[in-house]
Each structure stands twice: as C-alpha cells, then as structure tokens.
Structure 1
Amino acid sequence: MTTQFKRYIVTGGAGFIGHRVVRNLLAIEGAEVAIIDDLSVGMPMPAPADRLTLHKADIRDAEAIAAILAEFKPDVVVHLAAVHHIPTCETKRAYSLDVNVVGTEVVLEAAAAAGVQKIVLASSGAVYDWKEGALIEDTAPLRAADNYSIAKLTNETQVRLWGDRTGGQVAIARIFNTIGADDPNAHLIPDIITQIPQGASQVEIGLGNLTPRRDYIHVEDTARAIATIAMTALEGPFNIFNVSTGKDATVVDLVNLLGEIMQVKIDVVSDPARIRRIDRPTQLGATDKIRATLSFEPQRNLREALVDIVKQSGWTSEAVQ
C-alpha cells in the first residue's frame, strides 16, 4: 500500500482496536508509527518493532503530549484514546469527561502546534438519535443519550473546529459495536459465556434487555477501516464514515449463535436486575458511504467474531477447534 502520509501517531495505540490499527498502518510501505497510551486498561504496549515508537503517557498531560508530537512530527494523528467502558462513563462521570473531552483538546492543541495535516477521530454510533432503519452519516439526527455519547458528540465538534482553525483535514469514524478477542472491557458476550459452565449441554442464563438490535463488527474490520481512513487523502476538509456492517442482530440472536458454537442449548430469561434503564431499541449503520469512498467491505462476520471470543474464554467444542 502507498499513501501520501508517512508518519502516524495513534493515541490509545495499545488498546483493543488501537494495536490492530497500528499493525495495519505499519503495513504501509515506509510508514513510521508512534503510539501514545497510558496502559490504564491493562493491555500491554505492543512489542518494539522497526518503524514503531512507543510512548507511555496520559493524553491529559499537555507538556508530555506536546513534546511527543513536536519530536515525532506526524502527518496524521489517529485519536482512539478514551474511556470507552460505558458503566465507568456513568459512575465516574467527571473523570471520563476529563479524559474524553479535555484529553482530546490537549491532543488537538499539540497537533496544531506540530503542524499535523490530518486528524482521524474515533467517534461512536452512539451519537445518533434513536430511529428505525440504517443511520446515514450526513442526514441522521444526533442526540446524546449518556455520558459517553456526550463526550463523543463534543469530540466531533472539537475536531471540526480544529480543522477550521488549522486548515487541516478531519475524518470522523463513527464506530458501531466492535467485538472480538482480548477486549478488556466487560460486555454482553463475555457475560453470556461466563454463565455457561464448561461441559454443560443445557443451561438457563439471565440477561437484561433481550430485544435491542445492534450492528456488530469484527474488531479486525474496525481496525482496517480506521487505518484506511487515516492513510487515504480524502476529498474536502471534513468527512464522516460509519464503521459498521449494515447488518444487525438481537441479544437472542447472539445467544442462539453462541449456543451453536459452544454446542450448548441456552435458555435465556430477562433478569430485571440487569435491565438497562436507557437502552436504544436499534442501532444500524448505513455503509454506502464508506463502501463508495474507500471501497471498504467487512471481511469477517458475526460468527467469526464470536468464535474468536469463545476460543479466548478457554471453552472447548468441535466448533472452536
């Protein structure tokens, strides 16, 4: 692969999505990549490698971030670093906004001073208002429904204003439900698996809301999409892309597919103690724009993502050998 951009900084580059984005960027001929990560989620820094520079730093540390960007002089900053865990965003509201909003402003100020040409922001499908049907980037209404989406909507405004001030290019990746192995944040799928004893043939499990539909995308596809957005010289100063599959599934669909993979009959009941007070009924991302502009097509399906997660859990069955 070739691109006009050769130097990339990835904040949150040791994370679940981040280390895979870094791998994709290093596959670009001649690319130099630097990671900034405070390692707060417990994932290790990637191993040292040619054309890779590693920095342990908090994005709120303005002096450290400015020094790193001034020395490395990136063409592109891919900003992934954030508090992503929704329960943490709700229980530690001021802390998460400090990281997600103030930390983003620190990165943007350092990027402006370093002459960065392009910012790629990892936003979220959670910024959209609730509606049936596919959510289209440039026309679907937006509405914050929780502390995390407040931060991401704010981040989108921050990067847009950065582009206006600096003349730099801005690309926003609205990431939908990304799943796969080694996710450090507890989510629905690990919760299901932990309720199933090894060797069981039939179980009953309790979950919260069973009917919401989500657009699940394999983490490898998410990382490849973000890297493609970062390396591509896009038309115009401001672009938004959904990173999604255009397909959705309910909680019951996930349970049934996990049952097939684990070879267990799973009966699921709705546990009132687990029901979220606020839970949007549907979240489906339109994919026309990213397909047309970047020729991006997801390469892995929901079943493959679930197999990866089940394998990591240590569960053994013929389907995950």
Structure 2
Amino acid sequence: MKRKILIVGGAGFVGRQLVRKLQDRHDICVIDTLKFGNRFGEGGSSRIVLEKVDIRDWRAVSNVMERFRPEILIHLAAIHFIPECERDPAQAEEVNVLGTMNLLRACPVGTRFVFASSGAVYRPGDGPHDESSSVEPADVYGLTKLHAENYVRYFVKQRGLCGAVVRLFNVVGPGETSPHILPEIIYQLKSGSTKIKLGNIWPQRDYIHVEDAAEGFGRVALYGEVPTGVTKLINLGTGTQYSVSMILDQLRSLTGLPIEVEHDASRARTVDRPFLQASIARIKADFGWSPRLDLAAALADLWKNPDLAPSLVNQLRNG
C-alpha cells in the first residue's frame, strides 16, 4: 500500500539510501538543509518533494506538515559527529532536541513517528545492550539523543502519535557525511599514505552497513505493531563488535597494503567508551529485520566507492 512518508535528513548518509529504497513504492517528501549538497536525487525519482528546511525553524516545519500531511515520519536529521557536538553543545541541543520537538508538535495526529536515536545513550559497559539496559550517556551527543527520546515519549502520548525510537549503532559504508574514523582511514589510504594517523584504536563498536541501517528504518516505519500513544524502543545494529585494530587487519587483507598506524593525540577523544554492542532480538522478532551485510562487505564497498560528501572531503583534506 502506498504511503505518504516524510524523511527528515533524507539527503544524509542513511537518508539517501532510505529514499532510494522507498521512492518507487511511496510518496516521499524530504526535509533537509542540504548541508552536504543535494545528493539524495542522484539517479532517483523526480516525484520526490524536497523541502530545504532547518528543523529548528518551527514555522517552516509546520508549513511542510500542513502541505504534505505525512502518515509516516522518519527523523534522521542530527548533528551526530561527537567532536562537533563537544565543540558546540548548544548547537547540538538546538538541532537534536529542539528540532525533534518541532517535528513532534507539528506532525498530524496518528502519524507513525520513527526517531533515529543512538546506542550512545547506554551506560558504558561490556554489553551487549538490549532495550532495557541502563542509560547513561558519556558525551554531549548521547545526552542530546536521550533528551530527545524523552520528548518523543511525551508528545507521542500527548498528541496521539505512534512512536518508535530506533537506537542506531555505528553506521559504515559508502556515502558518509561526517569525518568518522572509517572514512578518515579510507581517505588517508586513497591519498597514498600507508602510515595513517589515528587517535584511539582500542574501542570496540557494533558496525552496521548503511544499506542494512536504511532497510531497518524502512521495516520499523512500515511493518510491525506500534499502538497509538505508545513509544517502542528498538536497537538497530548487528550484535557483533570490532575494534579499530581489527578493522585495520581486515583492510590490510582487503587492500594488500602494509598499513601502519601513527598515534595522533589530537585525534584521540578524551571520553571514549571501551565497548558498544547491540542486542537485536527485538527488531528481529517485532519487525522481521536482520542484517544482511557484514563488516567485510561494508569495508569492500567503502574501498571500492567511498562516495564521500564533498564537504567531508574538504574537512579530511584540511584536517
């Protein structure tokens, strides 16, 4: 059945993949500031409605909602690069929390509101974390996401929405828009250097391929039961974690390059949790989703065609 779906952040890393998956079967409206360029429409449908809107602008958000009247809203927009959040916590709070609140207040009653939160909300520990695990963010980004989750629960109940908070773990693959560690590694290697400068390489993370992440959001948006006035918590990851050291070993095998690491203290985070791993039993049971692609596939795709946003390439070149 064709649905009216509003994808907030649809020109971003996961958003572009999600738009591609849904555009032929549904009516799609994309809200995005186009900070990373108008990239969602490459090879896509001319039927997609694009609204260049900053979600901090209540009036602009309201106008889009009144015109489009979505049945489903998938909210992916955020400042999610942790160093950027630490440098400007006020901006992170405005975008990640106030922007979310604006969307919640404006969307029509009965809308299924799917919010992209993060595994960063969980208390640091060995894991794997399930949806009932304790929350205790260790950085500004995680704090903003947990803060926004609380508003999702509140407005879903108050306004008769159907809520789904998707706690997304570390996304990898082509199309990255922020200078996370994997695009940084790939950029340095593609630039001809096999001695790469990195910060901490010991933390272990649950890395999910961007295509699987997009598929997961699509499943939560379109399938499963989400009652009115209720917010469901769902983890979206793979259930497997890798350290950067392990990733470098895989890249050595993939590329055949003699990759060496030079520790760069300026790139090391002062706050860096040792482990982050998802339990994904709930999304499997309630929405019929399981990851199809592993880290090796993500690395191969990223190496073959990084597809990095031009603004990201400039940051890496000058960083």
Determine the structure 2 residue equivalent to 1:231: 222
Matches within 5 A, 1:271-290: 271-290=264-283
The structure 1 residue matched to 2:55, chosen from 55, 59, 78, is 59
Q: Using the alignment, how far apart are the partners of 2:72 and 2:190 within structure 1?
A: 46
- Deviations along 1:169-228, whole A, 9 cap, x unmatched? 10011110001112111111122233336677xx43332212111000000000000011
- Deviations along 1:67-92, whole A, 9 cap, x unmatched? 11111111111111111222211112
- Deviations along 1:255-276, whole A, 9 cap, x unmatched? 1111111111223343333321
Going from structure 1 to structure 2, the CA distance change for 1:197 and 1:26 (only over 3 Å counts) comes to closer
Determine the structure 1 residue equivalent to 2:91: 95
Determine the structure 2 residue equivalent to 1:26: 23
Matches within 5 A, 1:1-321: 2=1, 6-28=3-25, 31-46=26-41, 49=45, 51-111=47-107, 114-137=108-131, 139-196=132-189, 203-236=194-227, 237-313=230-306
Q: Which amino acid aligns with 1:226?
A: F
Q: Using the alignment, how far apart are the partners of 1:288 and 1:104 within structure 2?
A: 27
Residue 167 of structure 1: CA displacement?
2.0
Is the 8 Å Cα contact of residues 212 and 281 (structure 1) preserved in structure 2?
A: yes
Going from structure 1 to structure 2, the CA distance change for 1:93 and 1:235 (only over 3 Å counts) comes to closer
Q: Using the alignment, how far apart are the partners of 2:177 and 2:98 within structure 1?
A: 23
Query: 5+ unaligned residues in a row in structure 1: which ranges?
Result: 315-321
Q: Using the alignment, how far apart are the partners of 2:70 and 2:306 within structure 1?
A: 38
Sequence identity (%): 35
1:134 match: secondary structure: coil
Is the 8 Å Cα contact of residues 7 and 30 (structure 2) preserved in structure 1?
A: yes
Q: Which amino acid aligns with 2:300?
A: V
Q: Rg bigger for which structure?
A: 1
Residue 45 of structure 1: CA displacement?
4.4
Going from structure 1 to structure 2, the CA distance change for 1:146 and 1:120 (only over 3 Å counts) comes to same
Determine the structure 2 residue equivalent to 1:318: none
Q: Using the alignment, how far apart are the partners of 1:144 and 1:197 within structure 2?
A: 34
Is the 8 Å Cα contact of residues 73 and 116 (structure 1) preserved in structure 2?
A: no
Determine the structure 1 residue equivalent to 2:313: none
- Deviations along 1:30-74, whole A, 9 cap, x unmatched? x21110111113353425625421111111111111111111111
Determine the structure 2 residue equivalent to 1:319: none
Q: Normalising by structure 1, what TM-score?
A: 0.89
User: Structure 1 stretch 50-59 or stretch 291-300: which is displaced more?
Assistant: 50-59
Q: Using the alignment, how far apart are the partners of 2:224 and 2:283 within structure 1?
A: 14
Q: Using the alignment, how far apart are the partners of 1:62 and 1:274 within structure 2?
A: 36
Q: Using the alignment, how far apart are the partners of 2:52 and 2:18 within structure 1?
A: 17
Q: Using the alignment, how far apart are the partners of 2:104 and 2:147 within structure 1?
A: 13
Going from structure 1 to structure 2, the CA distance change for 1:188 and 1:25 (only over 3 Å counts) comes to same
Is the 8 Å Cα contact of residues 156 and 163 (structure 2) preserved in structure 1?
A: yes
Q: Using the alignment, how far apart are the partners of 1:297 and 1:88 within structure 2?
A: 31
Is the 8 Å Cα contact of residues 6 and 31 (structure 2) preserved in structure 1?
A: yes
Q: Using the alignment, how far apart are the partners of 1:52 and 1:269 within structure 2?
A: 45
Is the 8 Å Cα contact of residues 110 and 161 (structure 2) preserved in structure 1?
A: yes
Residue 233 of structure 1: CA displacement?
4.3
Aligned length: 304
Going from structure 1 to structure 2, the CA distance change for 1:22 and 1:118 (only over 3 Å counts) comes to same
Runs of 4+ in 1 over 4 A off after TM superposition: 197-200
Residue 150 of structure 1: CA displacement?
1.1
What is the CA RMSD across the aligned residues, in angstroms? Answer: 1.9
Q: Using the alignment, how far apart are the partners of 1:197 and 1:173 within structure 2?
A: 33
